[in-house]
Amino acid sequence: MKIINIFNVGVFSIALVVLAACVSVPSVSQRTDISDQLAVNQGWQSEVIETPLFDLMSYQSKQKQAAPLLTVYIEGDGFAWRTASIPSTDPTPINPIGLKLALIHPDGNAIYLARPCQYVGGSTARNCDNAYWTGKRFSEEVIAATNQVITELKAQFSAEQLQLVGYSGGGAVAALIAARRDDVIRLITIAGNLDHQAWTDAKQLSPLRGSLNPADAWLALTNIEQIHLIGGKDLIVSPSIVQSYKQHFKDDSQIKIITFPDYDHHCCWTERWNTLSANYLSR
């Protein structure tokens, strides 16, 4: 009679599950190709913009026209973790919701900004330690580099004012940038992680040491019009996080929080952005 080692079978089964999970993740080139094709279909093109520390990927329309308002869409955290404890080697997003939102922008000048190290080589790119898409994802270095790129893009489009739109972790980046500028007329976040201390506490995750917290920048954000769109079924960034952020403000009269009961972290922002943008974006 042949004896089967149950332990080995179990290990083999787990290995198959892990292998299947790895196989199911599109390669970096596939992820980049998807984003490139989405952009090309809308007459947009990619442009890598250098800063002293990072190279940032931007997508923007091939047709540039001077206008007083520029809307900047900032991507989420992307593929930051391969497993619960192992960071990915490249945070290029699998589902680039921030890009999809930008490509649906109704009218007026809009550009898309990826986060540092997305689309440009991940851990092989200049200064791209995985800390910059894990614990230091909202660090001073990240915010300063992104802010510098926005300043350059504003000049390219001859814009006078900015409207910042951030998805998920991009909402935190947008808020932190708005806090250090005087030309942002509106801050809009979609499923935004606006208080990462409350978020890590709620999720029982390790604190994002080395990251700035938008909730701590409440004073500089007090006079900026803010619209925060949240999904009632969002299990990644729950509605309680934006409420925690709001509680930091002594004067919250500029903050509007709209909860969509049937939306989650991914659905149905891109599907409904035509309508949502008409209601909440400045023109």
Q: What ranges do the domains of the chain cover?
A: 29-280
Least confident of 10-14, 23-27, 61-65, 139-143: 10-14
Which one has a higher pLDDT value, 14 or 40?
40
More confident position, 66 or 258: 258
pLDDT in tens, 116-140: 999 999 999 999 999 999 999 999 9
Q: Where are the extended beta strands (E) located within the chain?
A: 44-50, 55-61, 69-74, 109-113, 161-167, 184-190, 225-231, 255-260
Judged against a pLDDT cut of 90, whether residue 18 lies above it is answered with no
Considering the four listed CATH numbers 3.40.50.1820, 3.40.50.300, 3.30.70.1350, 1.20.950.20, the one that applies to the domain covering 29-280 is 3.40.50.1820
Mean pLDDT of 20-35: 83
pLDDT at 1 over 70: no
Query: Which pLDDT score is estimated for 77?
Result: 98
Q: Give the pLDDT confidence of 43-70 residue by residue, as tens digits.
A: 999 999 999 999 999 999 988 889 999 9
Cβ atoms of 263 and 87 within 8 Å: the answer is no
Question: Average pLDDT in the 262-279 region?
Answer: 97
Query: What percentage of residues in the chain have a pLDDT greater than 90?
Result: 88
Mean pLDDT of 189-210: 97
**Range 233-259 average pLDDT:** 98
Whole-angstrom Cα distance, residue 184 to residue 5?
Answer: 64
Q: Given this model, what pLDDT does residue 24 score?
A: 84
Classify strands 44-50 and 55-61 as parallel, antiparallel or unpaired: antiparallel
Distance (Å, whole) CA 225 – CA 214: 15
Give pLDDT, residue 62. Answer: 87
Q: What is the pLDDT of residues 169-197, one digit of tens each?
A: 999 999 999 999 999 999 999 999 999 99
Instruction: Please identify which residue in the block is written with the tokens 């700035």.
Output: 212
- For the record, the structure tokens of 271 come out as 């599907």
Which of 107, 108, 173, 166 minimizes the C-alpha distance to 138? Answer: 173
40-48 long-range Cβ contacts below 8 angstroms, 24+ apart:
41/103, 42/103, 44/103, 44/112, 46/119, 48/120
Exposure string of 251-279, with b = 16+ CB inside 10 Å and e = fewer, is: eeeebebeebeebbbbeebbeebeebbee
| Residue percentage of the chain with pLDDT more than 70 | 92
